[in-house]
Amino acid sequence: MYICICQAVTDLDIHQAARNGAKTLKDLRRDLQVSVDCGRCASCARKCLKSANEDFSERLQLSASA
Ligand code: FES
């Protein structure tokens, strides 16, 4: 699903950025140019990144306990 139409950034791109260490919207701006044009995607991008980081943390905890 597209999160940032202006830069053609998808939720999968944001999940990949999270796996590469993105923690904030500022990181997404730097890495994917999210929210650098109209800015309408900022709230959705932030939520997507939060969800991506929670998923990533859960997977790390599961793999550490296996
Ligand atoms: S939709 Fe992301 S900058 Fe416009």
Alpha carbons 44 and 22: distance in angstroms, whole number? 15
Cα(29) to centroid(ligand 1), Å: 11
pLDDT of res. 61: 87
CATH no. of 2-65: 1.10.10.1100
Q: Atom 2 of ligand 1 has which residue's CA nearest to it?
A: 4
pTM of the full structure? 0.89
Spell out the per-residue pLDDT of the chain, length 66, in tens.
Answer: 999 999 999 999 999 999 999 999 999 999 999 999 999 999 999 999 999 999 888 888 888 887
Atom number, ligand 1, closest to the C-alpha of residue 38: 4
Domain edges within the chain: 2-65
CA distances 22 to 35, 50, 57, 65, 66, Å, are 15, 10, 13, 24, 26
d(CA 6, CA 28): 14
Q: Is 17 in the pocket of ligand 1 (CB under 6 A)?
A: no
Q: Relative to the CA of 45, which ligand 1 atom is closest?
A: 2
pLDDT at 7: 98
